[in-house]
Amino acid sequence: MTRSRPSFLLLAVAVGGCVHRQPLQRRDEARGAPAVASVDEVPTCGHRVVVELKNQGRVGGELIAADASALHVLDGGGLQAIAVGPIERVTVEVLPGHSVGITVSTVLGTLSTIGNGYFLVFTAPAWIISGLGSGSSAASRSSEQTVPTDVSLPAYARFPQGVPPGWPPTSAKPPACRLVPTDDLSAKYRRG
């Protein structure tokens, strides 16, 4: 028998709601500890963005460039130049969301509590609450919202200097690029 548990949902929302969104910037504030990486790992493409329009439309894809008049986003249909005026907000994925991993973990973890005897009463909600809370926390931490005129946006683009002349060639659709962050599991921003 399935029973709704609004209190769990409220808690999860509350947990998610407590997560603070950081302002969009890549320059000054350290987010973590210094790490070691190879030159091959250095990102060469733009971050995933979702551009929400004032008319309820949205475009999602790689941020190619951001200038004073338009955002250039590469989605499944090709390069889109979106004028700044009609844009409501821009969401930039700065870290992997891990939405699929967390969802899989939560579902498997919840199912696994069937083997806990009557302690399932405690362990199943614990998985659901922590899964929802973690998902909400990770989603909130992984993305940042800003306005289209934010001067920090170019730092997240493939071409921070602007779209280079002649690119992309009119005869060809630009090939897919390994987006930043490299979260192959997450499909959150691939809808556009």
Partner 1 sequence: MTTRTWTTSLAILAAALGGCTDRYWQARLFKPDTSELKQASPEAPFLKAHGKDGSLAVLRAWTLDGAGGTLSGDGLRYDADRKLLSRGQIELPLSDLALLETNRPESVSRSEVAVLGVVAGVTLAVAALCAMNPKACFGSCPTFYAGAPGDERLVAEGFSASIARAFEATDVDSIDVPRPIGSAVELTMKNEALETHYVRSTRLLAVPRPPGGRVYRVGDRYFPTGRELVPLHCRGVEGDCLADVLADGGGEYLSRAGATDLAEQELIELTFSAPAGPAGLVIRARNGLLNTFVFYQGLAWLGGKAGETFARLETMAPGETPAFTGWERLLARAEVEVWTRSGWKVAGAFGEIGPIAKETQLVPLPVDLPPGEVKVRLRLTRGNWKLDRLSLAELAGPAVDPAVITPVEVRRLGGADAGALSRLRGEGARLVSVPGDAWTIRFPVPAALHDAEFFLESRGYYIEWMREQWIAEEDPAAAVALLRNPESALRHLAPAWKKMEPGVEKIFWQSRMGATP
Distance of closest approach, residue 57 Cβ to partner 1, in angstroms: 27
Distance of closest approach, residue 120 Cβ to partner 1, in angstroms: 7
Name residue, tokens 């955002």. 71
Of 69 and 112, CB closest to partner 1: 112
From first CA to last CA, the distance across the chain in angstroms is 38
Distance of CA 45 to the CA centre of its chain: 15
Name residue, tokens 């548990």. 5
Q: Is 141 helix (H, G, I), strand (E, B) or coil?
A: helix
Distance CA 157, CA 153 (A): 7
Distance CA 131, CA 9 (A): 11
Distance of closest approach, residue 191 Cβ to partner 1, in angstroms: 21
Of 37 and 68, CB closest to partner 1: 37
Of 31 and 56, CB closest to partner 1: 31
Distance of closest approach, residue 84 Cβ to partner 1, in angstroms: 20
Of 88 and 110, CB closest to partner 1: 110
Tokens of 80: 């889109």
